[in-house]
Structure 1
Amino acid sequence: MTSGGFRMFRRLEDRCRGCGNCRELKCSENCTGCRACLLVCPEDAILPGEPETKEYTVAVNGRDVRSGGTVGDALEGAGLRRAMIPGEGDVFSPCASGACLACSVSIDGCIAPSCVTPLSEGMVIETAPEPPLRYVSSFGPHTAGGVGTPFSEKTGAPVEVVCFTHGCNLRCPQCQNSQVAFTSQGNLLDPHETAGILMGLESIYRTGTVTISGGECTLNRTWLSTTIRAIRELKGDVNVHVDTNGTILTPEYLDELLDSGMNRIGIDLKGLRPETFMEISGLHDEKTARVYLENSWNAFRYLSENHRDIFMGLGVPYSRSLISMDELSAMASRISSINRDVQVTVLDYRPEFRRRDIERPSEDEMMRVKDVMIDEGLRNVVVQTSAGFR
């Protein structure tokens, strides 16, 4: 089968274990070579087909361009650079699955993500600000909370109501939420719809906290800030918690979230060394990985130095397959030098997605990790274990 820029990708049946992730993609009968199916397959059981030479004439910001594939390919054909770091290119295109809508453009007057939308003859494409829209799913009560949930509230009862935004800028091979991170199979919602659903659930469960998680919820800045503001308008005294990998947060972005009404945040610090971060995140571009890692640490530092009035928690991953005890100790030392009272939750990474070879750390091993972190001066360390939080 052919369409757009590629002959249909093919599935390697001897590798496929029937998870169905690729069948959830909307493009299954209209392949453009966007490669979204490669992101979501846990078995590397999908191979690209042969390049198709068919091209279309489209207009990009008033300029005629010949291109095949996706609208994103046409943007590049017009000299516009796509980038995974905000401000580094002409179009911020972080998720590559059409889920975050940060890369959206106007196509014949309609808004669509450029990364996965197939080209057709005569399209009129105009670059536009990111729309306040996001694919969102899995609304409901949450008993464990997130990295930015105070440990004292983890009682086993619902502690917050949560939604998960689809799309992520990382490619973690051990992702524990891959269908959210790598697909757009949620509901396309604007901020007021999202806030209304969350606050409707909060009125039932009376948690006092609503959480926006992911995927990576910060990718569409307009949507996130407006959603938080809409939640605050519905109920001024609710806690608004953002769980994030922190990789695109800047002081200006954090101030915008705080001004909108965020008062709790959980930030993941996926290593100290860029090499470790790349192993954990699945990124192969060293420059992008270094910027992301630095941003997450800088976000923690900025909030510690300027906004101690909000609650902040840090998430630190642990698996002996991914990060050494020595590096964890060095991370704890650095965290302690910035804010020794911050709540640090060490997450016991388990076999998942493409890394089912990982052995989940035992409870004893996680308690040793906790001792290492405390020895470096941290005062508030929680470890996630198979027996619960300790």
Structure 2
Amino acid sequence: MATGTPLRPARLRAGDVVKVGAVGLRTRPLRAFLSALGIAIGIAAMVGVVGISASSSAELNRMLDALGTNMLTVKPGSTMFGEDAELPLTAEPMVDRIEQVTDSSAIGTVDDANVYRTDLIPEGETNGLNVYAARPDLRGTVGAELASGTWLNEGTSRYPATVLGATAAERLGIGRASPQTQVLIGDTWFTVVGILEPAPLAPELDTAALVGWAAAEEELGFDGHATSIYTRSANEDVTEVRELLRPTANPEAPDEVDVTLPSEALAAQQAADETFTGLLLGLGAVALLVGGVGVANTMVISVLERRSEIGLRRSLGATRGQIRTQFLAESLLLSAMGGIGGAVLGSAVTAGYALYQEWPVVVPPWALLGGVAATLLIGGLAGLYPAIRASRLSPTEALAAP
């Protein structure tokens, strides 16, 4: 008796796998949407956190490029007995003589001088404001911008005129500089000729009233000692200048001089932001895991509800591998929907927040690709057990299911 060649089951092409996998999603759209939403929220959180952090870093780098990372600040430190040291009167001209220093300027703290909006405010309520004597070239050296009015010049530096830092003006309730606006500094009324924007590289200026060097000496009893000397040099000379500043500013006691690089504070801020970003990424990963559990739950319920369909397909010749492929493809499609939707949502959130803050919009491609890849991996793992369970159902058991 002749025996015929057994028929081989038809192979599912890639397009067929997608169509078969999409059947379960089309027949239960609300369930599929809610499961994909759980994945999308996790991916949107991850992409948004990475994108906002990258945009913030891009803005910080842009700001540093604009302001320059080549500014060094010389300040008095402490004596060997722990007392506050003082820069000598010769510190400014000596520092300016360093060959590699291209620009320098200084401020000096005016002790026992407070700033008030009127003379009716109690002396103890200083609002945390300081008074500094300032050189005319200070604004250009530290890269500060004017929000209103003008800066001190050789003429106004000799008269009772002041420029307020951004925070100082806000606390005093002064929005614009004008010849009619005056503040009481010590016992003298000073005309507010200018207001500064926030100064990232010299934040001490934000809470200060700045007056001319000569006016501070004549009107407020300033002793002439600089408390901060700001220097600029070429980027390649910063390290060398930093080594020269201590012995140059105070040759007799170089250990009593501190030299700081303001951009290091901004770099520390960036490091803190990166740590915070890592924490938020962890929370996003938890949200993604929760979404994966939702996909697994959806697929398990789908297998239980579609046992008759599985039995019919097995009776018509579908292999276990084809059943397994069908449900695994359904799980991957569900995850892909959530991943792509989350990537789009996260990018939109990043763009909206960055534009609101007036930052550059930066969404790293690796965050988008990594997010979608993570959803496919989680979707594959979440759908693997239900797919294997579906493939192990025998045709008779599946068709007998109610």
TM range (shorter): under 0.3
**Bigger relative CO (Cα 8 Å, ≥ 6 apart):** 2
Flag the structure with higher helix content.
2
The structure that has the greater radius of gyration is: 2
- TM-score, structure 2 length as denominator? 0.20
